Amino acid sequence: MPEFAYKARNAQGGLVEGVVNCPDRSVAIREIEQQNCIPIRIEPVGASPITAPIATARPFIPKVFNRSASDLDDFSPRSLKVPHSQLLVFTEQLAHLLQAGMTLDEGLSVLEKRLRHPRVQQMTRALHQALVDGRSFSQALREFPRIFPPLYVNLVAAGEASGALPEILMRLVNHLTQAKNLRDRVQQALIYPAFLAVAGAGLITVFITFMVPQLTQFMSQNGGALPLPTRILMEVHHLITTYWWLLLLFGIAAIALWRAFVRTDEGRTAWDRFRLNIPGYGRVIRHSYYAQFSRTLGTLTENGIPLLRSLDLISEIADNRYIEKKLAEVRRAVVDGAHLSAALAAQNLFPDLLTDMMAVGEQTGHFAQTMMTIADVYERELDRTVTITSSLIAPVIIIIIAIIVGFVVYSILSAVFEMTHSLQFRTR
């Protein structure tokens, strides 16, 4: 029976080497996976030996091939970033290759040649070299913080420990796909209102920039008193054209003060809390986070991540200082022995429906499945909220634009009527 020499990583993250007797290479891979190990390289005995050194302490310096020296100087794993769609493609294709029986080393080698995006190629080569240098896959992913979030890295680490890395990667594909779909739905719903706002601002700018000067010149030539709306419009035009630099400085100063305010812990917390309470917009943010929180927590617990570590990861991806502080209080309560649902209810952070459904999941022992169900509920609610909010934004913008444009037109027409009346009076 053929013999296969292998190198794999066990549940503790250590590198192991050995030889197995199996009919073919695919059976050898399955046998290694049954030992809760992730196969990195498998070769028939008598072929080129596995010579990759086992390095446990040296720093990770990615080696990227077929690149010039100047390119190598510019390459920095910590600053490298790829589009979300490319990350999704990389994860999905790697999962399919591992499920097809390839080792992690072979899968990355294939993707290195198959993927055409330049930055993805750089990333894949660096990850491949990290495996050759003896690092685990999750350790290599941590070197790219702008590409792989903590949630991604920790799920991969859980897959390495459990020997189920292909299944973990497919769940990550589902998670990334749902997150992308959620973000796309929100963006698409806001395209039309944004277009209306830009068009309205352009129309108002044209009126004030071109129509008002012509009206002013015409009035100065013919004399006569101007109506109050016309005088207000002309003062606005004078303010914009004469003191535009002052308005620009004021805007820059206001933005600088606001950014300085939100850089402080108290300011950022106050701003993030205010965002959650903005009518319409705040509801979209809350429902989006309810869905993200539930699905992420369900994914983490389903893959064996402890609850406290899961709360840490969810806090990191919240992108809201107010929510982060609330979750820190929740974590302390859980450490003290409280149920997660009770700790969340005490903070008034989530609606009663969510915490009640969570409590049922805790009592029945189907916590992960319950959290996925909650995520489905709030994703549907988010769709409804986005639809209603986006349908209301457009009429509101139209009304605001109509009021401003109507005022400008009324100011111009009232001046024309007043001048016409004055000319008729003089003729008589």
Q: What's the chain's average pLDDT?
A: 79
Question: What is residue 62's predicted lDDT score, i.e. its pLDDT?
Answer: 42
Identify whether residues 100 and 223 lie together within a single domain: no
3-state secondary structure at position 369: helix
Identify whether residues 212 and 118 lie together within a single domain: no
Per residue in 212-257, pLDDT (tens digit) is 777 666 666 665 567 788 778 778 877 877 888 898 999 999 999 9
Considering its fold, how many domains does the chain have in total?
3
Q: Name the more confident of 55 and 386.
A: 386
Taking the model in full, what pTM does it have?
Answer: 0.62
Cα–Cα distance between 60 and 22 in angstroms, integer? 34
Burial class (CB in 10 A: 0-12, 13-18, 19+), 132: middle
Identify whether residues 254 and 319 lie together within a single domain: yes
Smallest CA-to-CA distance from 206 within 397, 412, 416 is with: 412
Identify whether residues 380 and 252 lie together within a single domain: yes
Question: What is residue 149's predicted lDDT score, i.e. its pLDDT?
Answer: 83
Identify whether residues 116 and 28 lie together within a single domain: no
Residues near 93 by beta carbon (within 8 Å), at least 6 away in sequence: 111, 114, 115
What's the CATH code of the domain at 113?
Answer: 1.20.81.30
Identify whether residues 306 and 399 lie together within a single domain: yes
Out of 104-108, 212-216, 331-335, pick the least confident.
Answer: 212-216
Identify whether residues 222 and 154 lie together within a single domain: no
Identify whether residues 146 and 212 lie together within a single domain: no
Cβ-count burial 55-64 (b if 16+ within 10 Å, e if not): eeeeebebeb
CA angle 269, 147, 131 (to 5 degrees): 135
Percentage of the chain lying above the pLDDT 70 cut: 86
Integer Rg of the chain from CA: 31
Average of pLDDT values for 88-93? Answer: 90
The answer to whether residue 22 is domain-embedded is yes
Per residue in 42-76, pLDDT (tens digit) is 778 765 444 443 333 333 434 443 444 344 345 57
Residue in the block written with tokens 């969510």? 354
Q: What residue numbers bound the domain in which 365 lies?
A: 197-428
Q: For 133-164, where are the alpha helices, taking DSSP H only?
A: 137-141, 150-162
Identify whether residues 218 and 322 lie together within a single domain: yes
